[in-house]
Structure 1
Amino acid sequence: MAHEDRYGLPLSTASDAAASAYREGVDLMLAGWTGTAETLERAIAADPDFALPHIARARVHAFYQQGDLARQKAARARELVAKRGTERERSHVETLALAIEGRLPEAIAATLKHVEAWPRDAVVLSLPLGAFGLFAFSGMADHDRARHELCERVARHYGEDWWFLTMSGWAMTENGDVARGRGITERGFALRRQNAHAAHAVLHAMFEDGSIEAADRLVDEWIPTYDRAGLLHGHIRWHQALGALEHGDAPRALAIYADVLQPSATQAPPLNVITDGASLLWRLSSYGHAVPKALWLDGDAAAQKLFPKSSLPFADVHMALFAAATQNRDALATRLAVIEQRVAEDKLPAGPVVPAICRALAAFADEDYAACVRTLAPVLADVVRIGGSHAQRELIEDTFIVALMRGGELPRARSMLDARLHRRPSLRDTRWQAALA
């Protein structure tokens, strides 16, 4: 009997063990669950010539910025699928390999072509979805809408699939339809509770609709089921820390940082290490809470090792947070020079918004709030181009608002907060009340 994946697509292996382990490994990967790598390695061991577990394993290596291993596995998958693979599997391997190699425009084009032919290939469909997906990091200004529209186009092929409900609901939430998006994501979560991406997507909806207490309870109830080594464990606790800050509870936010986010404690992928750590410390500081200098210095040292050179704009912006907070002007100047050269050569799809944010953050750290406002104001509408989620990008708008407050422009700050509350009526933004009193 021919083997198929969970979505009914044929698998080019005669091994029951390889097919079973591959199906399980893919589900674990789509759920952001622990055991993914080990399960895919079982599939490889059961049938070393089966290409798909090799490319899936390469993708897991890529999550953790293990570039050499990821590219090696991708190259091996290409060799194997050329010898033994269907047209769908060859396209699957090539599309994932392009993404792993960082060839974003080619990977996006290949993904869309592949999904048109095989809409139920969930692994390929996952590539452009999420806050760190191909669309988000493409420099597109409308990546939230693009994710939502892609999910709408293929929804009839998935029905009540737990993974698809999770990701399509989150895309809906990020595109502004929060109530509907939350409901769809919660349906997916109910179908498979061992799904970190679902818990995460529900937390994003709760962030958007102001359900801070419900989000806190969700994390407290659910996180004991999720191993600390899980892909999103630290990031889910980061969401809980944001909730603590909403109530002005800086000690709790710092305790969460010490427990799971600081470099010596975290088991997260490198991009989450720098983005979660830097953004939480920056929020604490900009909201007026004391942050020990040692935390910034330790975080900056770890970040410089993980991202020594300019890379993704989303990473560069968070590296700028570390450089600004630690007054590491040389590091910021070096990175800015590379970024601005890429902008000048039209090789940075996100464009001039990236260096502008970096310069504004440095000005904020230098307490030159007028310069921060002057630099950020023209590009605020383009911040979306750096990627990430609304919850993550809101850091930039918050910095702008605090700069307005500290620069004496309270009416302008109030106007911005009123606009935010108009977009999200149930949000309370209690962190600003004292400053605006």
Structure 2
Amino acid sequence: MNRDRYDLVLTTTSDQAAAHYRDGVDCMLSAWHGAEAAFDRAIAQDPGFALAHIARARLHQLNMEGKEARAMAAHARQLVAGATPREINYVEVMAAVIDGKPKIAIDGAEAHLDAHPRDALVLALLLGAFGLYAFSGRADHDAAKLAICTRNATHYGDDWWFISYLGWSHTEAGNLREGRALSERAVELRSANGNAAHGLSHAMFEQGDMEAGRQFLAQWMPAHDRQSFLHGHLAWHGALSALDAGDLDGALAIYEQQIKPAGRPYPPLNIFTDGASLLWRLSLAGQTGLEPHWREIAAYGEKYFRQAGAHFADVHYALAGAMIGGDALEARMAQLEEREAAGRLAPGRTAIELCRGIKAFADGDNDNAIRLLEPAISELARIGGSHAQRELWEDTLIVACLRAGRGDKAARRISTRLDRRPSARDEAWSRQAKA
């Protein structure tokens, strides 16, 4: 009987199909290139292997290939009928994600893990900056991620994937020393692990240890396959280090070489949000000549996020829309209002006020930007993402305060951030606020 790496039964009579499936799962769990090909090989060896079909469907979904994802998920549901109850539930949870039913997926995943705590791909659905908890609209999603990891820790021991996400969850919950130690351990256990490198980069960022983060990525990135879906985002972390050091040209070079949407093999949500957020941070820092880049990222957003619905994309759509002008941003905010009125906007009005605050800031209306952004930032966690990603809106509020002559307000917010972690950028803004 074939089993996965966590000793769970796989309903396939093909040893080769099972081996390819295990390889594909390890690639997914380590954010490493090769999962698509591995699952395709598994399906070729056993066309009736339902779990290989649903895992491949999940990758189609991440790449925003919706038609292919839904078709493969439907086929997996047919194929899994003769498999074990665990595999049937696994396919149903994955299919709920692919079908855009997050509440059903969360409830199903939590119930599934009660019975099968070592089903790592199901647990992984709940975790991460773009996971089901993060995009649920909950303000306490960081605590929820840590809680479910802690609850299942005894079932994983020193497993390299689980340690990666346990470390990440501690970091995002504010337990920085423990989060960094666990992330360092995860890198030791498996260096070819983009998720561990990502978690460690966040821990160093949150501690204000930007130079250590830069050095780590400089040593680690050359061995990382550039087609792996986190490669561009890890380059984004390198750009944040450059920005903190005041190296705007270096940060822009990273954008141009590794992040901008020019045939990148990364999921569109990563490309769009990393690109828009880095360009906005560069603009806040005073970088000029970004107009061609803004037009390119706005066009990319129109291609992949034409309608409101993916709220983390929507709040980044506001960045591009505010910078290029026109009617697109007003239309998007109207769509968000409609979704919120219908109860279909997970973060509620928080997402809308962030968009309106960004537009006011771009229009030079700093007083109105402050009025809109300040209360929204108290609910900022509801949009999902990581602390490092969400910091952009607080940066914007600080710059709005400085431009509006509200140095006192800016200084208080900067002081709170400096108490949490040192930052060369915040120290410079603090001096400006006190001038």
TM-score by length of 1: 0.97
**Letter in structure 2 aligned against 1:268:** Y
**Helix, strand or coil: the match of 1:4?**
coil
**Letter in structure 1 aligned against 2:38:** T
Q: Is the 8 A contact 1:247 1:431 kept in 2?
A: no
Alpha-carbon distance in 1 for matches of 2:137, 2:74: 27
Q: Is the 8 A contact 2:279 2:290 kept in 1?
A: no
Alpha-carbon distance in 1 for matches of 2:221, 2:429: 29
**Letter in structure 2 aligned against 1:185:** S
Alignment of 1:351-430 (within 5 A): 351-424=348-421, 426-428=422-424, 429-430=426-427
Alpha-carbon distance in 2 for matches of 1:431, 1:288: 13
Alpha-carbon distance in 2 for matches of 1:372, 1:353: 14
Alpha-carbon distance in 2 for matches of 1:94, 1:346: 25
Q: Which ranges of structure 2 fall in alignment gaps of 5 or more residues?
A: none
1:87 is matched with which residue?
A: 85
Residue range with higher mean Cα deviation, 401-410 or 376-385: 376-385
1:304 is matched with which residue?
A: 302
* TM-fit CA distance, 1:32: 0.7
Q: Is the 8 A contact 1:259 1:265 kept in 2?
A: no
How many residues get paired? 433
**Helix, strand or coil: the match of 1:10?**
coil
1:207 is matched with which residue?
A: 205
Q: Is the 8 A contact 2:244 2:423 kept in 1?
A: no
* TM-fit CA distance, 1:431: 5.0
Task: Give CA deviations for 1:209-247 in whole Å, capped at 9, x if unaligned.
Answer: 011111111111111111221101110000000100001
Runs of 4+ in 1 over 2 A off after TM superposition: 426-437
* TM-fit CA distance, 1:345: 1.9
Task: Give CA deviations for 1:170-195 in whole Å, capped at 9, x if unaligned.
Answer: 01100010110111111111111111
Correspondence 1:25 to 2:24: yes
Indicate which of 302, 305, 330 corresponds to 1:333: 330
* TM-fit CA distance, 1:325: 0.8
Task: Give CA deviations for 1:280-328 in whole Å, capped at 9, x if unaligned.
Answer: 0100111222242111111111211111111211100000000001113
**Helix, strand or coil: the match of 2:405?**
coil
**Letter in structure 2 aligned against 1:206:** M
Alpha-carbon distance in 1 for matches of 2:339, 2:48: 41
**Letter in structure 2 aligned against 1:389:** S
**Letter in structure 2 aligned against 1:207:** F
Q: Is the 8 A contact 1:246 1:431 kept in 2?
A: no
* TM-fit CA distance, 1:265: 5.2
Task: Give CA deviations for 1:339-364 in whole Å, capped at 9, x if unaligned.
Answer: 01111222212100111011100010
1:236 is matched with which residue?
A: 234
* TM-fit CA distance, 1:435: 3.0
Correspondence 1:342 to 2:342: no
Percent sequence identity over matched residues? 48
Correspondence 1:102 to 2:95: no
Indicate which of 144, 149, 154 corresponds to 1:156: 154
* TM-fit CA distance, 1:266: 2.7
2:121 is matched with which residue?
A: 123
1:140 is matched with which residue?
A: 138
1:61 is matched with which residue?
A: 60
**Letter in structure 2 aligned against 1:413:** A
Task: Give CA deviations for 1:20-76 in whole Å, capped at 9, x if unaligned.
Answer: 111111001111101110011111111111100101111111111111111111111
Alpha-carbon distance in 1 for matches of 2:188, 2:314: 36
Alpha-carbon distance in 1 for matches of 2:217, 2:231: 10
